[in-house]
Structure 1
Amino acid sequence: MKTATVFRPLVLAAAVALASSAWFAPAQAADASSPVVKINDATAKADVNVETLRGNISVLSGSGGNIIVYNSAQGKFVVDAGIAVSKDKIAAVLNGIGPGPLKYLVNTHYHWDHTDGNAWMHAAGATIIGAPMTALHLSKSTRVDDWNYTFDPLPMAARPSIIVKGSKTMNFGGERIAIQNFGKGHTDGDLWVYFKQADVLALGDTFWNNYYPFIDNEHGGSIDTAIVWANKAIDASTDHTIIVPGHGATGNRADLIAWRDMLVDVRGKVATLKQQGKSLDEIVAANPTAAYDAKYGGFVINGGFFTKLVYDGLNGK
Structure 2
Amino acid sequence: MRFTIIFALLFVTFVQGQDREVTISIDTLSQKVYMLTGRGGNIGIYVGENNVFMVDDQFAPLSHKIKAAIKTLTNKPITYLVNTHMHGDHTGGNVNFNTEATTLVAQDNVRKRLVQKGLANVKANKLSQQDYEKTLPEITYSEDLTFYDVDEIIMAFHVHNAHTDGDTMIYFVNENVLHMGDTYFSGRYPYIDINSGGSIDGYIAAHKKALMVIDENTKIIPGHGRPSKKSELETYVAMLEDIRATVQQEVTDGKSLEAVKSNSALLAKYDATHGNGYINPEKMREQVYKSLIKK
For the aligned pair, the TM-score class normalised by the smaller chain equals 0.7 to 0.9
Code of the aligned partner of 1:285 = S
User: Is the 8 Å Cα contact of residues 43 and 62 (structure 1) preserved in structure 2?
Assistant: no
Q: CA deviation at 1:41?
A: 6.3
Give 3-state SS (helix, strand or coil) of 1:91's partner.
helix
User: Is the 8 Å Cα contact of residues 49 and 149 (structure 2) preserved in structure 1?
Assistant: no
User: Is the 8 Å Cα contact of residues 184 and 225 (structure 1) preserved in structure 2?
Assistant: yes
Map residues 254-265 of structure 1 onto 2, 5 A cutoff: 254-265=231-242
| Aligned residue-pair number | 277
Map residues 167-316 of structure 1 onto 2, 5 A cutoff: 167-172=144-149, 174-287=151-264, 288-316=266-294
Query: Which of 45, 53, 57 is the aligned partner of 1:69?
Result: 45
Alignment of 1:129 onto 2:124: no
Using structure 2 for the length normalisation, give the TM-score: 0.87
What is the CA–CA distance in structure 1 between the aligned matches of 2:268 and 2:224, rounded to whole Å? 22
Q: Which has the higher contact order (CA 8 A, sep 6+)?
A: 1
Q: CA deviation at 1:141?
A: 2.2
- Quote the sequence identity (%): 32
Structure 1 segments unaligned to the other structure (5+ residues): 1-36, 143-149
What is the CA–CA distance in structure 2 between the aligned matches of 1:90 and 1:183, rounded to whole Å? 29
- Larger mean Cα displacement after TM superposition, 40-49 or 92-101: 40-49
Task: Identify the residue that residue 85 of structure 2 maps to in structure 1.
Answer: 109
Q: CA deviation at 1:303?
A: 0.7
Q: CA deviation at 1:316?
A: 4.4
Q: CA deviation at 1:233?
A: 0.7
What is the CA–CA distance in structure 1 between the aligned matches of 2:50 and 2:271, rounded to whole Å? 44
User: Is the 8 Å Cα contact of residues 242 and 252 (structure 1) preserved in structure 2?
Assistant: yes
Alignment of 1:58 onto 2:34: yes
User: Is the 8 Å Cα contact of residues 250 and 260 (structure 2) preserved in structure 1?
Assistant: yes
Task: Identify the residue that residue 10 of structure 2 maps to in structure 1.
Answer: none
Task: Identify the residue that residue 7 of structure 1 maps to in structure 2.
Answer: none
When residues 210 and 50 of structure 1 are mapped into structure 2, their CA distance, relative to the original with a 3 A threshold, is same
When residues 299 and 38 of structure 1 are mapped into structure 2, their CA distance, relative to the original with a 3 A threshold, is farther
Deviation per residue, 1:235-276 (Å, 9 max, x gap): 111101111100000000111111111111111111111111
Using structure 1 for the length normalisation, give the TM-score: 0.82
Structure 2 segments unaligned to the other structure (5+ residues): 1-12, 119-125
User: Is the 8 Å Cα contact of residues 160 and 206 (structure 2) preserved in structure 1?
Assistant: no
User: Is the 8 Å Cα contact of residues 251 and 293 (structure 2) preserved in structure 1?
Assistant: no
Deviation per residue, 1:126-178 (Å, 9 max, x gap): 20110111000111228xxxxxxx99996223211111211111102542101
Q: CA deviation at 1:43?
A: 4.5
Give 3-state SS (helix, strand or coil) of 1:301's partner.
coil
Give 3-state SS (helix, strand or coil) of 1:315's partner.
helix
User: Is the 8 Å Cα contact of residues 103 and 126 (structure 1) preserved in structure 2?
Assistant: yes
Task: Identify the residue that residue 162 of structure 1 maps to in structure 2.
Answer: 139
User: Is the 8 Å Cα contact of residues 190 and 206 (structure 1) preserved in structure 2?
Assistant: yes
What is the CA–CA distance in structure 2 between the aligned matches of 1:152 and 1:189, rounded to whole Å? 25
What is the CA–CA distance in structure 2 between the aligned matches of 1:281 and 1:197, rounded to whole Å? 48
CA RMSD of aligned residues (A): 2.5
Q: CA deviation at 1:77?
A: 0.2
Structure with higher Rg: it is 2
Q: CA deviation at 1:231?
A: 0.8
What is the CA–CA distance in structure 2 between the aligned matches of 1:44 and 1:268, rounded to whole Å? 44
Q: CA deviation at 1:63?
A: 2.6
What is the CA–CA distance in structure 1 between the aligned matches of 2:242 and 2:19, rounded to whole Å? 33
